């Protein structure tokens, strides 16, 4: 297995998970939409890094590394890398809350359809970017 194979595997997993978001949205499971969207974005950003020879670290938000290594992404604009990094950072902040909540934050009560639709839109955008990068 090569690093390219692993990058492609991440993209396949992310693409398949996109389909789950629509089901979760239909079920009004907005907090899980946000959580799954974060995981999709994480798979994509790590796949993009692998596709240009960067071993991603073992933490959830690696978006800043897209910008740090922008010169390796020959066919991708800095603006797109910055947008992906911003999405990754935003969803990373929601990762634990959307799944576990807290004593004063019940995920099934706090997240709205608006939050879910935004997360879906962002995840789809990052997947498209990853599809353009990971060949």
- Asked whether 99 and 60 are in contact (CB, 8 A), the reply is no
pLDDT band for position 118 (cuts 50, 70, 90):
very high
Q: How far apart are CA 42 and CA 1, in angstroms?
A: 21
Instruction: Write a three-state SS string for 10-29.
Output: HHHHHHHHHHHHHHHHHCCC
Structure tokens at 45: 């950003």
When pLDDT is averaged across residues 91-96 and rounded to a whole number, the result is: 93
Q: pLDDT digits over 69-80, tens only?
A: 999 999 999 999
Share of the chain above pLDDT 70, in %: 99
More confidently predicted of 39 and 95: 39
Q: What is the dihedral of CA 89, 50, 9, 81, to 10 degrees?
A: 40
Half-sphere exposure of 20 (CA within 13 A, CB side): 15
Q: Spell out the domains of the chain, with CATH numbers in brackets.
A: 3-133 (1.20.120.330)
Q: How far apart are CA 53 and CA 3, in angstroms?
A: 7
- Asked whether 35 and 116 are in contact (CB, 8 A), the reply is no
Q: pLDDT digits over 28-68, tens only?
A: 999 999 999 999 999 999 999 999 999 998 999 999 999 99
When pLDDT is averaged across residues 72-96 and rounded to a whole number, the result is: 96
Q: What pLDDT does residue 1 have?
A: 64
**Mean per-residue pLDDT of the chain:** 96
Q: How far apart are CA 9 and CA 7, in angstroms?
A: 5
For residue 46, which of 65, 28, 27, 31 has the smallest C-alpha distance? Answer: 65
């Amino acid at each position: 297995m090569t690093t390219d194979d692993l990058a492609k595997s991440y993209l396949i997993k992310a693409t398949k998970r996109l389909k789950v978001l629509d089901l979760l949205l239909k079920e009004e499971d907005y907090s899980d939409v946000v959580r799954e969207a974060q995981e999709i974005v994480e798979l994509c950003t790590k796949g993009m890094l692998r596709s240009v020879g960067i071993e991603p670290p073992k933490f959830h938000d690696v978006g800043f590394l897209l910008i740090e290594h922008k010169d390796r992404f020959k066919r991708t604009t800095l603006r797109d890398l910055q947008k992906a990094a911003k999405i990754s950072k935003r969803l990373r902040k929601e990762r634990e809350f959307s799944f576990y909540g807290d004593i004063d934050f019940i995920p099934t009560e706090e997240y709205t359809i608006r939050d879910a639709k935004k997360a879906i839109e962002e995840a789809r955008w990052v997947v498209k970017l990853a599809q353009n990068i990971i060949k």
